[in-house]
């Protein structure tokens, strides 16, 4: 496990927003993690936890307030050379949440998908461009007849797939999926997720999968990080997280997952997370590896407590 290649590394990343004169919102507050090549790394949290901001900062839509981001060992955050920027544009791509807003209503599907090709001059002739676009369309389960159409003629699931085709066209290595299925019907969700899994296998991709639906995240992710108010509070493999949740927030999240089984639903008890159970005025918390590959954000006394809970 430990000798796997790290494709993305985030160190002490922070992104603060200033509101007015005094208030500062710490959307992302000093987080660090690494993503291994070929894995699906899940990032979960409630609205406002900072997960989307993290994704967007990594892909350089926002500038980090502090911290560093490395890809394949090279620094990609902040001001970098033009070649490096082009490298980032081609190798990290994003899939967005809202299928209605992710495509330019005035552009034809062919042009939407080909945009990356055009910017990076990856094709040399009309025909080559078109062929590549058709290839992408077929990759996501659509076909040539859709080339000349406009976004409003498609359903939500189809639009999302066009968005995926657009991202795939530049042959990225890492795809950040920012809640890609939250706005879709459940059956379509399954379609898209399966598509993503297929692509991962055939195209040698790595995913950073941002979501708030824990059960879906468990299905698709290898490892999961839980975020709360800008901080990563727990990070472990999906199995381990569900079997041994340590941080109280994680526990409350898991307690809220509904199951389509009336018997367990009867017995399920939800409990909410109360941040005041921590007493961080006295001790400073840190991310600590409690058991191999299972990290928790805790103060020293809490670490002791958690160690006793491990089964």
Partner 1 sequence: MNISKGKFVFTKSDTAAAEKLSAVSLSFWQDAWRRLKLNKAAMFGLGILIIILLVAIIAPTRMVNQKNEDGTVYKYDAAPIILDEDGVEIAKERLAFLPPRVPGLEKIGIFDGVAQIEIGSYDLVIGVLPKTIEFNDLRKITNKQALIDKLGIPYHPYDINFKSVYEDENDVLMADIIIVKTGEEVTITFDELSSEYTKYQQGNFEFVKSTIDKYGIEMIKIKADYYEIKNIKNLYFWFGTDKLALDIWTRVWIGVRVSLIIAFASLIIDFTLGIIYGTIAGFYGGRMLDTVMMRFTEIIGSIPALVLMIIFLAIQDPISAAINSISPVPLTVPVIRLIILILAMSLTGWIGVARVVRAQILKLRDLEYVLASRTLGASKARLMTKHLFPNIIGQIVVMATFTIPGAIFYEAFLTFIGLGLPIPMASLGVLVKDGYEAIQTIPEMLLIPALIMVMLMLSINLLANGLRDALDPRMR
Give contact residues for partner 1 (rule: CB under 8 A). Answer: 56, 59-61, 85-86, 89-90, 92-94, 96-98, 101-107, 112, 115-116, 119-120, 141-143, 145-146, 148-150, 152-154, 158, 163, 166-167, 170, 260-264
Closer of 189 and 250 to partner 1 (Cβ):
189
Distances in Å between the Cα of 161 and the Cα atoms of 98, 103, 286 are 12, 11, 40
Q: How many CB atoms lie within 10 A of CB 152?
A: 9
Closer of 263 and 277 to partner 1 (Cβ):
263
Could you tell me the end-to-end alpha-carbon distance of the chain, in angstroms, rounded to an integer? 22
Closer of 90 and 212 to partner 1 (Cβ):
90
- Provide, rounded to whole angstroms, the least separation between the CB of residue 10 and partner 1: 17
Closer of 101 and 310 to partner 1 (Cβ):
101
- Provide, rounded to whole angstroms, the least separation between the CB of residue 160 and partner 1: 11
- Provide, rounded to whole angstroms, the least separation between the CB of residue 119 and partner 1: 5
Which residues lie across from 18 on neighbouring strands?
24
- Provide, rounded to whole angstroms, the least separation between the CB of residue 158 and partner 1: 7
- Provide, rounded to whole angstroms, the least separation between the CB of residue 311 and partner 1: 24
Mapping DSSP onto H, E and C, the string for the chain reads CCCCCEEEEEEEEEEEEEECCCEEEEEEEEEEEEEECCCEEEEECCCCCCHHHHHHHHCCCCCCCEEEEEECCEECCCCCCHHHHHHHHHHEEEECCCCCCCCCCCCCHHHHHHHHHHHCCCCCCHHHHHHHHHHHHHHCCCCHHHCCCCHHHCCHHHHHHHHHHHHHHCCCCEEEEECCCCCCCHHHHHHHHHHHHHHHHHHCCEEEEEECCHHHHHHHCCEEEEEECCEEEEEEEHHHHHHCCCCHHHHHHHHCCCCCCHHHHHHCCCCCCCHHHCCCCCCCCEEEEEECCEEEEECHHHHHHHHHHCC
Closer of 183 and 235 to partner 1 (Cβ):
183
Closer of 196 and 290 to partner 1 (Cβ):
196
- Provide, rounded to whole angstroms, the least separation between the CB of residue 169 and partner 1: 9
Closer of 80 and 287 to partner 1 (Cβ):
80
Q: 69, 89, 49: which is closest to 9 by C-alpha?
A: 69
- Round to whole Å and give the CA distance between 243 and 236: 10
- Provide, rounded to whole angstroms, the least separation between the CB of residue 309 and partner 1: 29
Closer of 128 and 194 to partner 1 (Cβ):
194
- Provide, rounded to whole angstroms, the least separation between the CB of residue 73 and partner 1: 21
């Amino acid at each position: 496990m430990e000798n796997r290649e790290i494709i993305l590394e985030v160190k002490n990343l922070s992104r603060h927003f200033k509101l007015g004169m005094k208030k500062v919102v710490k959307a992302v507050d000093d987080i660090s993690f690494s993503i291994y090549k070929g894995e699906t790394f899940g990032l979960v949290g409630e609205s406002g936890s900072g997960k989307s901001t993290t994704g967007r900062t990594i892909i350089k839509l926002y500038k980090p307030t502090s911290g560093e981001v490395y890809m394949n060992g090279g620094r990609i955050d902040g001001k970098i050379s033009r070649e490096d920027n082009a490298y980032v544009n081609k190798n990290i791509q994003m899939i967005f949440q809202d299928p209605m807003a992710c495509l330019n209503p005035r552009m034809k599907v062919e042009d939407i998908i080909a945009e990356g090709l055009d910017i990076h001059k990856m094709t040399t002739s009309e025909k080559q461009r078109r062929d590549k676009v058709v290839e992408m369309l077929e990759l996501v389960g659509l076909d040539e007849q859709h080339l000349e159409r406009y976004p409003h003629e498609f359903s939500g699931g189809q639009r999302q797939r066009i968005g995926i085709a657009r991202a795939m066209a530049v042959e990225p290595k890492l795809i950040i999926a920012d809640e890609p299925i939250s706005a879709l019907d459940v059956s379509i969700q399954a379609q898209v997720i399966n598509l993503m899994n297929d692509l991962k296998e055939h195209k040698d991709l790595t995913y950073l999968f941002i979501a708030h639906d824990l059960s879906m995240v468990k299905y698709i992710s290898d490892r999961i990080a839980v975020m709360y108010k800008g901080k990563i509070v727990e990070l472990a493999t999906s199995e381990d997280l569900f079997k041994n949740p340590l941080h109280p927030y994680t526990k409350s999240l898991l307690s809220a997952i509904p199951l389509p089984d009336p018997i367990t639903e009867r017995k399920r008890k939800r409990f909410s997370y109360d941040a005041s159970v921590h007493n961080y005025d006295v001790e400073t918390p840190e991310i600590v590896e409690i058991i191999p590959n299972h990290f928790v954000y805790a103060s020293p006394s809490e670490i002791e407590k958690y160690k006793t809970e491990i089964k």
